[in-house]
Structure 1
Amino acid sequence: DLYSIIDIAYNPDVLQRAEENPEKMEHLIHLTLKFIEERCNLILSPSYNIESFKLKGSLERMQQRLKGRQVPTPCLNQNSNKELTLDQLLHSTEAEDHSNAPVLLKEGSITRSNVHLIEEITSTEVPEELSTPIYEMITVKDANKKPLKIELKVELPKVSSVSECDLRISKDDIIIDVPEKYKLQLDLPELVDEETTTAVFNKGKGVLFITVSVAKP
């Protein structure tokens, strides 16, 4: 059967306390198994046997590990029947992991480009077209059907204050301009006296009422 021998070094005080207390010894063994699973990427059985004999490695190999010298990486394959130490297993695992490690380029091998990565472009956004508000215009006449005044009601639901509105009126037309919201230009059915113009804005309903008298002949 294939097997591996892994060397584990314990603190002498910890090992002595574990030998004196069976529960601590069992806990120490389970911690050791978990450590080997994580470091060597293995799946181990939780069951174990404690043998009466002791295995010791060579003094030369122990001195190499303590002095930090690199131990030759063993070839792990199914035909190998050599005993593997924990240090050898860790070196073999690190060697496999390095195959997927990122490659570090030397500073001289990096070509720096002077081309700007962010290109400035002019805005191609088209300003939103101002909408024409809903309106109603009537001509008020006297009993003889003579025009007296013109009343205009304009719905401006997006307007919160009359200060947003720009009202211009002449003898024959009227212009209502709300920047970025509305624009209305109307020809008046009668010539008017622009000096008599009155405008009232109902903030709650968002409606502008305009009244202007018809010019006298």
Structure 2
Amino acid sequence: MKLYAIFVILKSPDGGEAKILKKASDLNNFGFFQRSSVEEFLKFTAKIITERTSAGSRSSVKEQDYMAHVYVRTDNLTGVVVSDQEYSNRVAHTLLNKILDEFTKVVPSNTWNNLNEGEANYNDLPALLSKFQNPKEADALTKLQLDLDETKIILHGTIESILQRGEKLDDLVAKSEDLGIQSKTFYKTAKKTNACCSYM
């Protein structure tokens, strides 16, 4: 079980581009030369999922071997956790609750719109990413948050299922300004490699 990244994002209420207020990642499982591309894709995915999830809802989205768990609060503050498929959905959503509650205590909501990307004064994400690598250790925290059990979590088959009608992931990747040329090439190569290994 592995957590790869945590994001705190401000969703634009008018449907514009989401803004990453803070992020932390652990990409040691990837080769040194892959890490920058993987990080760009995690950022890209977190923004897309945030923009496509309605305020006041949660979802867990499967994309290849990964899961992206998202919680968009009614005030548009959003948490995204990217993990492997073995990681517990319940613990991931408990972590999202904890992150957003703590972030709100440290960073006043009236400052969120004025922050530049990544500059929020909240430094607990790396420690939380490390602590929650073992969901069994974090499980004790889930007992304190009984409200999570009442929350509806939508499980999407793939990232494609949350895209709007007529949208294609390949087109979004091609148009994205968040992804460099190397990352786009990495995406195409990975897609071709995975396509040759799938069975009908």
Q: Which has the higher relative contact order, 1 or 2, with Cα contacts under 8 A spaced 6 or more apart?
A: 2
Normalised by the length of structure 2, the TM-score is 0.20
